[in-house]
Amino acid sequence: MVLITGYQTKEKDGNEFFLLELQGDVEIVISEATGLPYATMRKTLMSSTFDENTCKALVGKELKGEILKVETDEYEYTVQATGEVKMLNYRYVYSVNDQQTEEQAVFG
């Protein structure tokens, strides 16, 4: 399941729209730096056609599906907490069908 944890307001070409903030289930991963396990949750944003009141009402709702890690072309990412710049080659996307492959989630 995926939880709607919030929303963000964005503007493009003079038009305001809203992105839903999504969070997946807890997962345990192994740190590349220490080799020790830690708990994390995948997060992503999803475009919507909703107004702000609808987005507010959706916070706390669960959606069927999962958040998948999908390979992309390499890009630069700045860690907000530390200012560290990293090169990443993936992004997270919401998938309604948790049986889909990563490629199906992106390309249909």
Per-position DSSP letters for 33-86, written without gaps between them? TT--EEEEEEEEEEEE---HHHHHHHTT-EESSEEEEEEEEEEEEE-TTT--EE
Q: Does the pLDDT of residue 108 top 60, yes or no?
A: no
Question: Which amino acid type is present at position 73?
Answer: D
Residue 67 scores a pLDDT above 60: yes
Inform me whether the pLDDT recorded for 15 exceeds 60.
Answer: yes
pLDDT tens digits along 23-64: 999 999 999 889 999 999 999 999 999 999 999 999 999 999
CA 84/CA 106 separation, integer angstroms? 28
Residue 100 is predicted with a pLDDT of 54
14 φψ region: left (φ > 0), alpha (ψ -120 to 50), beta (else): left
Give yes or no for residue 102 having a pLDDT over 80.
Answer: no
Q: What is the pLDDT of residue 32?
A: 86
Q: What is the value of pTM for the model shown? A: 0.79
